[in-house]
Structure 1
């Protein structure tokens, strides 16, 4: 097959303790999946899960022990951080039951769902899709993947984000409204999940703005820390 121009390089994420990297297929994100975050965004209750997507090349891949760089995006004056547990899929499946969901999980990582909040809010008011607020370039910083067998008790892990050393977000994965298995069940009813898919599982309360020069450091207990400098 002859291509009109060279294909874009495959986006791949390092795996702790493994020489090979995981090629990324799709990025799915769960909206409002912590109750206190839902409340701070003006919603309440355990509403059915909903999803949005980011392109794979929105990732800012940050190897273990390094600091990633994220350029401050255009068109916004209100760039928000959202710390999240990322689930990496290693086995394909459709209509996966929650009881079988963990068979499809390869591992976990720490990620940031960066959001142009002002643009997202404008789109919400107009009843329009909010891709411009969520799926922009460099909007998904992410650390290395820890294989599932090494991430014990992830469902009870603490999750935290600091900005310039000050705690902004702090919670626990057990506070997810829809847990990892339930999320995979709902998501796989709508899409065929493939190896290399990533699921950003939602952010706890405390989302707020960052500015150029800020350093964000995100952690989920048992996983490699994610450190990102906003340029």
Structure 2
């Protein structure tokens, strides 16, 4: 028999949306009036983005350090706008999500900083209501995928049971971590692979999706 799924936990980048960090960098560079490479160095070469994504620094500290380094005020809306500029929802995946059984609860678990809890619903607006209040980030949790304990902690916060939860991610290493934590997990990179994954399960209380 196919496993019955009551909850689906999604990765974000590469599953729900395509992420082009070069576009995000260009957006911030235009805002600050500085060189593209300078923004890249501040965010990535310096380790600032990794610190934020891991939860080592809070949002206020992150935005202050970013703004100071590129000599421009960066508030939450400016940062979110840059992330939205670099992110494009994968419509085929979103349409399949919208068609899933209404009783299936959904959430997101992503290796990103805490501000993504605000950005993600705005990037995937058509399914925002289905993930409302259930967007978890590595920065907020202060732990990252693929550690099995990250998935266990996420499920504890959501109040979900691993045996009835499906996790989907574009990276197999994260899929492995989820399986070690007792979740069902599949590698998904586009609408077609998501559709194939869905066929392996039954969704909702009775009839599927």
TM-score of the superposition, structure 2-length normalised?
A: 0.26
> Larger strand proportion, structure 1 or 2?
1
Query: Which structure would you say has the larger Rg?
Result: 2
> Larger helix proportion, structure 1 or 2?
2
